[in-house]
Amino acid sequence: MSLSPAHVRQFYQEGFTIFENALTPTELESLRTECDILVNHIYNEKDLLFDAGCIVEPLSCGYVDHDLSHPEAYKHDQAFYRRIRSQINDEVLEITLHKIAAMAEQVLPIGPDRRLYLLNEQYIVKPPRSGTKARFQWHQDSEYMPLACRRVPTVACWIALDDVSEANGTLLIDPYPSPSANKVSTSSLDHHAQFSSFYSPTPSSTPFAATILAGSVVLMSSVLRHCSTGNDSGRFRRAFMPQYSAGVVWSDRVMRERGEPGIEQPVKDSRELLAMAVPCGGR
């Protein structure tokens, strides 16, 4: 799955890009099916809107059975991850670890001593007629990471599973302002660190509203300012968002001890990680 040069250029200049109709009908249906299974499970346990905040994480929502002898190995060992994740849907594994990962790799600074990792994955589902109660406030994804961890570049791949507009809960985006984008590129690890240190988003009076068809992917930098509207429609609005990192994102303690990111080291203990570090690609 190759992004065009225009896609990559827009990502570096504005902090996001949209790849329309990225998924096949079969892939889209696989994600929808899995999403519905997990949402139904959530509703058996609690309220999706008020208890879960519209967020459903496949591996921590209580649906799958974990290997009790290695309960957190799935966070960094791809074989364990595949074994646990396949309890829901095998097809989604390939979409996440290969197809979407290949798109993420094209906008992240991956070098010979680094590789792409799956950092996190979640379904974001807004119930019908939930209105502003399902609205997500303006934020940057990097806000939820300790400062030391932000040195590792990450990208969120927001996949629309339904047609989206401002009426049912789409993304509103503040692109990078042109002067900031021209100061430095984020296409290398050093440049990313420089950019992340000085970039401070300024709220726009006219944010970009993503009106896109199901199967399209919005790739967003971790420092991009964005939010999402509420759902006033009579149907669920579903999205799937895997996040990827250009190297292992260690815990805050480990990142501060090791200083600047260097050559990747193997993960031996999931407690050393901020979230997940599942290697992408391979079988």
For the chain, the domains span 5-279
Is 277 within 8 Å of 119 (Cβ atoms)? yes
Kindly report, residue by residue over 160-198, the tens digit of the pLDDT.
999 999 999 999 999 988 655 444 455 666 666 666 666
Task: Quick: pLDDT tens for 191-250.
Answer: 666 666 667 777 877 899 999 999 999 999 999 999 999 999 999 999 999 999 999 999
Contact (Cβ atoms closer than 8 angstroms) between residue 210 and residue 170 = yes
Over residues 40-97, the pLDDT tens digits come to 999 998 999 999 999 999 999 999 999 888 889 999 999 999 999 999 988 999 999 9
Q: Which DSSP helix (H) or strand (E) runs through 33?
A: helix 25-45
pLDDT at 182: 46
Burial class (CB in 10 A: 0-12, 13-18, 19+), 58: buried
Domain 5-279 has CATH 2.60.120.620: yes
Per-residue pLDDT, 69: 85
